[in-house]
Amino acid sequence: MKPELKYIELKSGFGDNGPAWIGIAEFSKSGRTVYFNGKALKNSNARGISGNYYDVENGDEYWISGIKKNGTDRHWTGGGKIMIDRKVVDLYLSLVDFNVLDKNRFELVDVVPTDKQKFAELENEKLN
């Protein structure tokens, strides 16, 4: 699968107020694992309590979805700024119904690349 612009929100420990990002997510060949901001997030097949993906290293739940054209990506009861990768601002603005980021709703950040090989080795290591 080719990389896509996604909305990603940490749910564990936060409910609908967790840290949230908009950035380019990469996918495993099967599409079941999302690589974003140094993390590998695996599809939970709707078995999570509040998220649809979980962090393969620590089990934290995340919500991952496409971005909404009207910019209302957070749950209606949620709050807090959405961190947006500064490298994708122009792409994001070309896909939504507004042309300027509201500084009260968004914060520009640098999203770090994910070492996919690290997670491939982690998931494929032999158990003793």
Poorest-pLDDT segment among 7-21, 38-52, 73-87, 97-111: 38-52
Q: Is 93 helix (H, G, I), strand (E, B) or coil?
A: helix
**pLDDT tier at 118, thresholds 50, 70, 90:** confident
The predicted model scores a pTM of 0.90
Q: Tabulate helix, strand, coil % of the chain (nearest 5).
A: 15, 30, 50
Q: Are strands 106-109 and 82-85 parallel, antiparallel or unpaired?
A: parallel
Is 68 or 119 the better-scoring residue by pLDDT? 68
pLDDT for the residue 46:
65
The answer to whether the CB of 7 falls within 8 A of the CB of 66 is yes
pLDDT tens for 57-88 read: 999 999 999 999 999 999 888 889 999 999 99
